[in-house]
Amino acid sequence: DAMVIQNPRYQVTQFGKPVTLSCSQTLNHNVMYWYQQKSSQAPKLLFHYYDKDFNNEADTPDNFQSRRPNTSFCFLDIRSPGLGDAAMYLCATSARQGTGANVLTFGAGSRLTVL
Amino acid sequence: GQNIDQPTEMTATEGAIVQINCTYQTSGFNGLFWYQQHAGEAPTFLSYNVLDGLEEKGRFSSFLSRSKGYSYLLLKELQMKDSASYLCAVSDSNYQLIWGAGTKLIIKP
């Protein structure tokens, strides 16, 4: 089945210790997104890629970086996690952008705990 | 600013009908989405409305009124597995998704 796979599902790190979360997709979608979602809150867009074009949301902290080495893979790096970065990180894909009917397919998420 | 409003939590009984409302104020409109999100899991797509009216998909229906900035998700014949959060999201003039915080639906036997 075509899908979006995130690893790890659960990540525990110490305050300030770098973390990398990965996302892979077999849907051959052009667009990949990273969202941060805290409990009972709306998902917050951190970055998105259209093919290899990188788009950084204006209010995404510099502590967050992303890489997309090829169409299938995308990484989220948190350089120095703080307690406020504890959240679910959701990777999503879509076939295209610039259209209203742009359905997102999400991975299962990576839950980050910061001690 | 752009804003999506949904009730924080609703409770309904198994077998009943529930309506979850969503109002929005966005810069432009290119469609409204409903996603279902079970606790600790990722959102999954339920419906998309871009024209006024009702879209029906089995037990779930979604309604849109663009002039009122209003949508609702209607769930019929509620089952325990419908216990989840329901997220409303609007595609704005730049095709960016503006998300609501979600409505947590609790189903009681």
Q: For chain B, which residues lie within 8 Å of any Cβ of chain A, measuring from their own Cβ? A: 4, 8, 30-31, 33, 40-45, 48, 50, 85, 87, 91, 95-97, 99-102, 104
Residues 6 or more apart whose CB falls under 8 angstroms from that of A40 comprise: B8, B85, B101, B102, B104
State yes or no: pLDDT of B91 exceeds 70: yes
Residues of A in contact with B45 (CB under 8 A): 103-105
Mapped onto helix, strand or coil, the DSSP state of residue A44 is strand
Nearest CB among B50, B101, B104 relative to A101 is that of B50
> CB–CB of A103 and B31 under 8 A?
no
Mapped onto helix, strand or coil, the DSSP state of residue B53 is strand
Average pLDDT over residues B8-22: 98
> Number of residue pairs across A and B with CB atoms under 8 Å?
53
> CB–CB of B101 and A40 under 8 A?
yes
> CB–CB of A42 and B87 under 8 A?
yes
The Cα A112–Cα B1 span in angstroms is 30
The 10s digit of each residue's pLDDT in B31-89 is: 999 999 999 888 999 999 999 999 999 999 999 999 999 999 999 999 999 999 999 99
- In this prediction, residue B14 has a pLDDT band, given cuts at 50, 70 and 90, of very high
Chain B nearest-CA distance from A81, in A, is 21
> CB–CB of B42 and A100 under 8 A?
no
User: Phi-psi category of B58—alpha, beta or left, where left has phi over 0 and alpha has psi -120 to 50?
Assistant: left
Q: pLDDT value at position B95?
A: 85
Q: pLDDT value at position A2?
A: 63
How far does chain B reach from its first CA to its final CA, in angstroms?
40
The 10s digit of each residue's pLDDT in A44-102 is: 999 999 888 888 888 899 999 999 999 999 999 999 999 999 999 999 999 877 776 78
> CB–CB of A101 and B40 under 8 A?
no
**How far, in whole angstroms, is CA B108 from its chain's centroid?**
20
CB of A45 within 8 Å of any CB in chain B? Answer: yes
